[in-house]
């Protein structure tokens, strides 16, 4: 038994021996004989490894499943039924272990992708907020650098919501002059920021 547990040699390379005494070995194993366990392992270990590896295509994972199968056999040895096929019993356990492996791997992959997606979404969200805040800060800086009359008219129009005529009346200038100042203000902002559609940002920052 200990050759399996301590891996004294690669167990998938053990020589296959004669199976004529399998029934006797199973009975001996049922009674707790470690030597019977080793003998059964030497008979079926290589075959079982080939079966598992055929599904997984991964050496270490296949070895682990073979080990787990034989450990299960040892732990449940008192429940063995010598009259039934020991080989079929082994391969049935192995098959269920393979299914569990695939199910576990799938869940791990799904969880990993979920975590990655959340991390990407969070990073993108933070980046977008930071970039937008930087843009707002820059817009505010550009507005403060406008000529006084352009800044005044821009604020009255975008923040206070006054019409061109109302602004003209307050400042005692013509509506056309107000329109020209406003047009120049927006043109200067677009030029500094390289953004065509600035209206929404102006509404946000001036409110």
pTM of the predicted model as reported, rounded to 2 decimal places: 0.47
- Where are the domain boundaries for CATH 1.10.1740.10 in the chain? 2-110
- Where are the domain boundaries for CATH 1.10.10 in the chain? 145-206
What distance in Å separates the CA atoms of residue 198 and residue 207, rounded to the nearest whole number?
14
pLDDT for 125? 53
pLDDT for 128? 55
Q: Which positions ≥6 away from 159 have C-beta within 8 Å?
A: 206, 207
Is a pLDDT exceeding 70 seen at residue 123? no
pLDDT for 132? 56
pLDDT band (50, 70, 90) for residue 143? confident
Please identify, in words, the CATH class of the domain defined by 2-110.
mainly alpha
pLDDT for 157? 82
Is a pLDDT exceeding 50 seen at residue 172? yes
Is a pLDDT exceeding 90 seen at residue 199? no
Average pLDDT score over the chain: 76
Please identify, in words, the CATH class of the domain defined by 145-206.
mainly alpha
What distance in Å separates the CA atoms of residue 44 and residue 113, rounded to the nearest whole number?
38
pLDDT for 20? 57
pLDDT band (50, 70, 90) for residue 4? very low
Query: Of residues 95 and 119, which shows the higher confidence score?
Result: 95
**Residues 183-194: pLDDT tens digits?**
888 888 777 776
CA distances from 17 to 7, 11, 24, 41, 96 (A): 19, 13, 14, 10, 26
Is a pLDDT exceeding 70 seen at residue 94? yes
Is a pLDDT exceeding 50 seen at residue 200? no
């Amino acid at each position: 038994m200990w050759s399996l547990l301590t891996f004294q040699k690669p167990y998938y390379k053990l020589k296959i021996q004669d199976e004529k005494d399998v029934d006797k070995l199973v009975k001996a194993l049922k009674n707790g004989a470690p030597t019977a366990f080793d003998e059964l392992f030497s008979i079926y270990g290589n075959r079982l490894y080939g079966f598992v590896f055929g599904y997984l295509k991964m050496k270490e994972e296949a070895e682990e499943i073979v080990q787990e199968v034989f450990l299960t056999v040892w732990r449940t040895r008192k429940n063995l039924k010598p009259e039934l096929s020991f080989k079929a019993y082994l391969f049935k356990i192995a098959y269920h272990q393979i299914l569990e492996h695939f199910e576990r791997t799938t869940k791990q992959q799904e969880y990993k992708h979920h975590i990655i997606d959340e991390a990407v979404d969070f990073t993108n969200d933070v980046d977008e907020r930071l970039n937008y805040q930087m843009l707002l800060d820059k817009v505010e800086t550009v507005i403060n650098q406008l000529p006084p009359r352009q800044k005044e008219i821009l604020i009255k129009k975008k923040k206070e919501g006054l019409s061109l005529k109302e602004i003209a009346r307050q400042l005692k200038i013509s509506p056309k002059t107000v329109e020209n100042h406003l047009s120049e203000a927006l043109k200067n902002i677009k030029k500094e920021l390289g953004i065509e559609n600035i209206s929404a940002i102006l509404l946000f920052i001036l409110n």
